[in-house]
């Protein structure tokens, strides 16, 4: 109508209307709530994200226009509530957490009934269908006698800590703090006994310490104003005592050894801090860190970004850092002492009464905010808002690594929040970058030598990515590879695994070694060296049944190792070759006369056979059953045995004897054992059961025992 009244003709009016309707909408930035996110009709006070679902509790009664009183389960991929998951609470939910196994949802608040089940302010629900778990009921009483405001779950998932306004849980006296079993809901003996309301709880990573914030002045048997560290083993307060001066602590967030505390106080940890502070938990004193954002009003909620670089604060404040207008919500840098507010500033409308809940998504790309508001900036939104706060992502082309030639790098920033890339920080000398470059297009960086690039980007709302590092090695020199075992003949006593050591110290980028063991030339598709090569493990060869191995044939052979290395820049050394002769078995000894009884003197000939091995060298023998020795053989105690007779020709034997032989091959393998037991018949009619004064029965037993023994190998 307004266009027609301007006096334009029908065509002009139509064209103007088309232009108006087709004009691009203003781009949504991370300061603007997501208009597609599930809408509620009143404040969200708590929430938890698990397995793609967002569980919310608060004062609302509808979600996306449907009835979900005080509690709902939102499918994040669809931004819609699960229609069949509707527990039907009768009053507000103020705290919730998901069990470690993802099967249960623990809730606390002001409610006294859930559907038909009586549950006074504390309950466990099925994650699957939202039904009350009937066996989970504190001491059979099933209630706290006043509001529950905070929950914390132990790392092992067995204990649920609760804080609030109550003075009894499940019929057991518990002042503002208690713990219950996650199996049954039964109240546990743990009893710190705070003298005032508890508003916030957070556990240390090891579960040994519970940090509690609230309105109390004593807890755990000690005077503690507003904030305390409690031992989970006994409920006693530790020596850590920051002592918030004149108010309460409403919110806590823990990052490693730093505890962020928000609330209503002017001093904490011995230092002036307006409503928000960072405290060192590693020291018993509870000392306040230099980080000081100076918030001018109460802080009710805190949430850390996924990388810990930003702390988001919500509450009833209007300025931070003493000057920057931030209405009820702000993002603060955690990496500088000044705790400077980032540019992100969604809370421009006075309709925001308070932000009471903050949480970041698992991937750190979204900030969820709940509280008492009906409008944020130019967006009408009640009770719950979702902001895209993903930091920008910077890529470098080419990626870090080794290069034979390289003259230029290109840094490109990709915005992920909608705010637009604003600044790029980088250095090429390995130092942390501090000077920004305005970003509007990819930035080219010239390099001429080895370079350590450090970089990150910041978007227009102050979301900054973590510091990245890329190392570039300009390298034209091939690596050098050494083998730990020189080519030679090796026996069972001195064979070792072969290590291939590649040396390429150019900026520590390293190299890759390829090898073959069959004499073929190695290539980049050959086996990659990852661990020492076992030469002994190659014998017997693959395909031969170990139980049917003839050691003289299959425990000896030749291995031709060929290898080379290539570094990260693509430089490659020439292939090297090492020849190993392997002989792992001792020789076999043959004898011309078998064990037995002979009528007269004999001359015994010994034969040494090393099969496919390195070849026989010497044989040593004894005739009295004592161990033969080449002068290097040791007994079981390590004593060196004297050298015995060396075999040079037939051995004359004319009386009862036990012939033992030690045979050696070129590789140093040896075989030692009995090869013959001999007795003789007397020409003068001596009893045939007696030979050389030795009873034949005893001789037979000796023969059986000795022949059963395996070859003994000499100590190297």
> Which pTM was predicted?
0.72
Q: Confirm whether 311 is domain-assigned.
A: no
User: Region 166-178: what's the mean pLDDT?
Assistant: 96
Outline where 87-214 has alpha helix (H): none
**Mean model confidence pLDDT for the chain:** 89
Predicted confidence at residue 282, as pLDDT, reads 85
pLDDT at 9 over 70: no
Whether 624 is covered by a domain: the verdict is yes
Q: Are residues 702 and 592 in the same domain?
A: yes
The domain boundary residue, chosen from 556, 583, 610: 583
Whether residue 572 is contained in a domain is answered as yes
| Residue 451 in domain | yes
CATH of the domain at 415: 2.60.40.10
Distance CA(106)–CA(117), nearest Å, equals 15
- CB 667, CB 587: distance < 8 Å: no
Q: How many other CB atoms are there within 10 angstroms of residue 364's CB atom?
A: 18
Rounded CA gap, 394 and 306, in Å? 17
Find the mean pLDDT for residues 448-462.
94
CA distances for 155 relative to 152, 159, 182, 231, 612, angstroms: 9, 9, 12, 14, 64
Do 469 and 572 sit in the same domain of this protein?
no
Residue 479 CA from chain centroid, whole number: 32
DSSP type of residue 631: S
pLDDT average, residue stretch 360-375: 94
3-state secondary structure (DSSP) of residue 707: helix
Is pLDDT larger for residue 489 or for residue 462? 489
Q: What is the pLDDT of residues 517-543, one digit of tens each?
A: 999 999 999 999 999 999 999 999 887
The reported pLDDT for the residue numbered 141 is 65
Domain final position from 436, 457, 474: 474
What tokens does 555 get? 């425990």
- What 8-state DSSP symbol labels residue 345? -
Work out the pLDDT band at 682, boundaries 50, 70, 90. Answer: low
Taking residues 353-366, report their average pLDDT.
94
Q: Which of 409, 443, 474 is the last residue of a domain?
A: 474
463 and 400 inside one domain? yes
Residues 630 and 645 in one domain: yes
Looking at residues 551-558, what average pLDDT do you find? 92
Q: State how many domains the chain has.
A: 3
Is 489 part of a structural domain of the chain?
yes
Q: Is there a domain that residue 165 lies in?
A: no
The pair of three-digit structure tokens given for residue 412, joined into one six-digit string: 């490109």
Distance, CA of 476 to CA of 570 (rounded, Å): 9
Residue 200 CA to its chain's centroid (Å): 29
Give the range among 141-145, 377-381, 413-417 with minimum mean pLDDT.
141-145
Distance of CA 561 to the CA centre of its chain: 38
**Domain range for residue 470?**
393-474
Mean pLDDT, residues 599-614: 95
Residues 644, 596 share a domain: yes
Do 532 and 621 reside in the same domain of the chain?
A: no
| Within-domain flag for 558 | yes
Could you tell me the pLDDT band of residue 302, with boundaries at 50, 70 and 90?
very high
Residues 487 and 560 in one domain: yes
Task: Please indicate, yes or no, if residue 464 is contained in any of the structural domains.
Answer: yes
Q: Is the pLDDT of residue 715 over 70?
A: no
Q: For the domain that residue 530 is a member of, what is the CATH number?
A: 2.60.40
- Condensed to tens digits (0 to 9), the pLDDT of residues 86-133 reads 999 999 999 999 999 999 999 999 999 999 999 999 999 999 999 999
Summarize the confidence of residues 78-82 as an average pLDDT.
Answer: 95
The string of pLDDT tens digits covering residues 21-79 is 333 333 446 899 999 999 999 999 999 999 999 999 999 999 999 999 999 999 999 99
pLDDT for residue 15 is more than 50:
no
Given a cut of 60, whether residue 20 has pLDDT beyond it is no
| 492 and 576 in a common domain | yes
Q: For the segment 310-343, what is each residue's pLDDT rounded down to a tens digit?
A: 999 999 999 998 889 999 999 999 988 777 899 9
Same domain for 459 and 519, yes or no, is no
């Amino acid at each position: 109508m307004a266009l027609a009244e301007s006096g334009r003709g029908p065509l002009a009016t139509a064209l103007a209307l088309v232009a108006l309707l087709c004009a691009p909408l203003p781009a949504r930035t991370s300061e603007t709530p997501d208009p597609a996110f599930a809408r509620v009709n009143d404040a969200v006070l708590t929430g938890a994200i698990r397995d793609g679902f967002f569980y919310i509790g608060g004062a609302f009664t509808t979600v996306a226009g449907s009835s979900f009183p005080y509690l709902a389960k939102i499918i994040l991929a669809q931004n819609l509530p699960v229609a069949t998951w509707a527990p039907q609470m009768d009053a507000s939910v103020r705290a919730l957490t998901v069990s470690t196994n993802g099967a249960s949802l623990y809730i606390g608040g002001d409610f006294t009934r859930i559907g038909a089940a009586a549950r006074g302010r504390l309950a466990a629900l099925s994650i699957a269908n939202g039904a009350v778990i009937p066996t989970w009921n504190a001491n059979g009483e099933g209630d706290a006698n006043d509001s529950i405001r905070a929950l914390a779950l132990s790392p092992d998932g067995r204990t649920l800590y609760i804080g609030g306004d109550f003075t009894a849980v499940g019929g057991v006296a518990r002042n503002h703090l208690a713990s219950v079993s996650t199996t049954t809901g039964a109240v546990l003996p743990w009893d710190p006994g705070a003298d005032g309301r508890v508003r916030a709880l957070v556990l240390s990573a090891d579960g040994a310490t519970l940090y509690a914030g609230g309105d109390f002045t004593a807890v755990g048997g000690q005077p503690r104003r507003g904030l305390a560290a409690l031992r989970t083993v006994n409920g006693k307060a530790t020596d850590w005592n920051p002592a918030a001066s004149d108010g309460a602590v409403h919110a806590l967030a823990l990052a490693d050894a730093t505890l962020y505390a928000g609330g209503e106080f002017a001093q904490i940890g011995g230092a002036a801090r307006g409503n928000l502070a960072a405290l060192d938990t590693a020291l018993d004193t509870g000392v306040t860190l230099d980080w000081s954002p100076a918030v001018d009003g109460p802080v009710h909620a805190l949430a850390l970004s996924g990388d810990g670089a930003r702390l988001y604060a919500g509450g009833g404040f209007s300025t931070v850092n003493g000057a920057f207008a931030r209405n009820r919500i702000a993002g603060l840098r955690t990496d500088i002492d000044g705790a400077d507010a980032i540019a992100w500033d969604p809370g421009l409308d006075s309709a925001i009464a308070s932000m009471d809940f903050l949480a970041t998504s698992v991937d750190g790309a979204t900030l969820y905010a709940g509280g008492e508001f009906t409008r944020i900036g130019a967006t009408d939104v009640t009770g719950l808002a979702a902001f895209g706060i993903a930091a920008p992502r910077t890529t470098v082309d080419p990626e870090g690594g080794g290069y034979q030639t390289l003259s230029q790098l290109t840094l490109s920033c990709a915005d992920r929040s909608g705010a637009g890339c604003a600044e790029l920080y980088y250095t090429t000398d390995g130092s942390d970058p501090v000077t920004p470059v305005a970003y509007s297009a990819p930035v080219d960086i010239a390099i001429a030598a080895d370079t350590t690039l450090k970089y990150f980007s910041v978007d227009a709302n102050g979301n900054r990515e973590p510091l990245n590092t890329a190392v570039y090695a300009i390298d034209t020199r091939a690596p050098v590879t050494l083998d730990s075992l020189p080519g030679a003949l090796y026996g069972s006593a001195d064979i070792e695994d072969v290590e291939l050591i590649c040396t390429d110290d150019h900026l520590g980028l390293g190299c890759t070694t390829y090898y073959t063991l069959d004499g073929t030339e190695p290539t980049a598709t050959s086996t990659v060296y990852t661990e020492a090569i076992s030469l002994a493990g190659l014998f017997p060869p693959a395909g031969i049944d170990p139980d049917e191995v003839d050691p003289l044939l299959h425990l000896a052979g030749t291995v031709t190792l060929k290898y080379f290395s290539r570094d990260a820049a693509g430089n490659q050394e020439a292939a090297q070759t090492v020849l190993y002769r392997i002989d792992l078995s001792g020789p076999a000894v043959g004898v011309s006369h078998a064990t037995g009884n002979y009528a007269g003197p004999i001359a015994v000939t010994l034969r040494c056979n090393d099969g496919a091995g390195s070849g026989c060298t010497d044989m040593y023998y004894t005739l009295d059953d004592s161990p033969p020795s080449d002068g290097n053989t040791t007994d079981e105690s390590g004593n060196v045995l004297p050298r015995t007779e060396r075999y040079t020709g037939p051995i004359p034997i004319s009386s009862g004897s036990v012939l033992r032989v030690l045979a050696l091959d070129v590789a140093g393998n040896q075989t030692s054992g009995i090869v013959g037991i001999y007795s003789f018949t007397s020409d003068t009619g001596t009893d045939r059961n007696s030979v050389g004064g030795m009873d034949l029965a005893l001789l037979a037993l000796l023969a059986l025992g000795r022949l059963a023994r395996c070859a003994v190998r000499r100590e190297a």
